[in-house]
Amino acid sequence: MTDSKFILFIKKCDIMSLEKIKTITLMCCLPDLASVNIKDRLLELEKWTTVEIPPVQKMKESLEMYPISASRLYAEEKELTNLFTGVYELVKNGILLRLFLIDGRIIFQDYLDKRLEFLGFETDLIVFLSKHKSQSETKALTAHPTGNYASADYGGHSYSVCTPAPVEMKKLLLAMDRLNEETDLGYDVTFEITHHGPTELDVPSLFIEIGSTEVEWADQKPGAVVAKAVLSLAEADDIHAKDERISKEAKLLQDQVVAVAFGGGHYGERQTVNVFRTRLAFGHMFPKYQLESITEELILKAFDKTGARIAFFDKKSMKGSDRRRITEILEKNNIPILNDRDAAAEYGIGFNLREKGRESGE
């Protein structure tokens, strides 16, 4: 074999090995202060490699083939190109992380997985780095899946849900909670229920967010906590870790049972509680104020996309009429129902990572 052929052979082997490893895509939205903050912290924490951006014409072609969603509520979106302006790569513990900078709002990035594949960036998971905004202006670190119960005013398609990432969302909440305590940040660490776009993604995806005002979005301390949590997705779960907290997190992530949840408020209070005390992981979560309107088709789609085995009811928060209607749908489709009390009894792990006083409703 000649030297040139040997070099080509080695390069081909390198490409094949890269294709086989798990790939996590991280999306930074340039118009989003919190997203840019998290991106900056990620680049500070590790030595990333700059990757050549695909040709502009190729990116435009991908948008024509797999268009983003649009909303009349976001007129300024027309001024954004939705093109990548930067790409970085990092291999950590055998997992490839790719960080994309995009001139567009991430809630409108339907078919992003298809565009990435078209551009040669196939992925196994998409993590959207984002801000969280609330009327209460509560300082919070959140994670949630995406979907629309009716109209699609904030991205995605109507009556549609994404393919969620239940175990990864749980791992992020556990890591953010630990880092929040270690740094005395004092933020709430919590789920949000399923809401907004994008919805048309076959690859599992999730949002991780900093809330809830411009002060928090730009603050490097929560940005670093979220960045470190994101990087933990490339770390193995070690039940034998010397750090007792990390060991307990690993135990909570063993033998996960995935559920679709019904009831509770916007922050999925009981779902969040059960992340820290049971083997349950949650995919789509429907809040009490949407239960009357969700259709049987959407409910079954949520189970299909989540790959869930059971339903979880925050029973106390649900209207009797909603509970009876949804129970009928689930029983008809042979889906067992678990309430909050049964969750701890059946899937509890013998400890709770959160102090008693921090649990709502206990």
The model's pLDDT over 2-49, given as tens digits with 9 standing for 90+, comes to 444 434 434 444 544 445 689 999 999 999 999 999 999 999 999 999
Distance CA 147, CA 31 (A): 22
The yes-or-no verdict on residue 361 having pLDDT over 80 is no
- CATH 3.40.630.50 maps onto the chain at 17-235
pLDDT digits (tens, 9 = 90+) for 145-199: 999 998 898 999 999 999 999 999 999 999 999 999 999 999 999 999 999 999 9
355 pLDDT tier (thresholds 50, 70, 90): low
Average confidence (pLDDT) over 307-330: 97
Q: Is the peptide bond between 67 and the residue preceding it cis, with omega within 30 degrees of 0?
A: no
> Could you tell me the CA-to-CA distances from 13 to 2, 21, 22 in Å, in that order?
17, 13, 16
Residue 108, both tokens: 């409108």
pLDDT at 135: 83
The correct CATH number of 255-362 out of 3.30.479.30, 3.40.50.10700, 3.20.20.10, 3.90.70.10 is: 3.40.50.10700
Phi and psi torsions of 104, nearest 5°: -175, 165
Cα 65 from Cα 80, distance rounded (Å)? 18
pLDDT for residue 70: 78
Range 17-235: architecture per CATH: 3-Layer(aba) Sandwich (3.40)
Query: Can you read off the two tokens belonging to residue 235?
Result: 């770390």
Residues of the chain with CATH 3.40.50.10700: 255-362
Give me the pLDDT at residue 166, please: 98
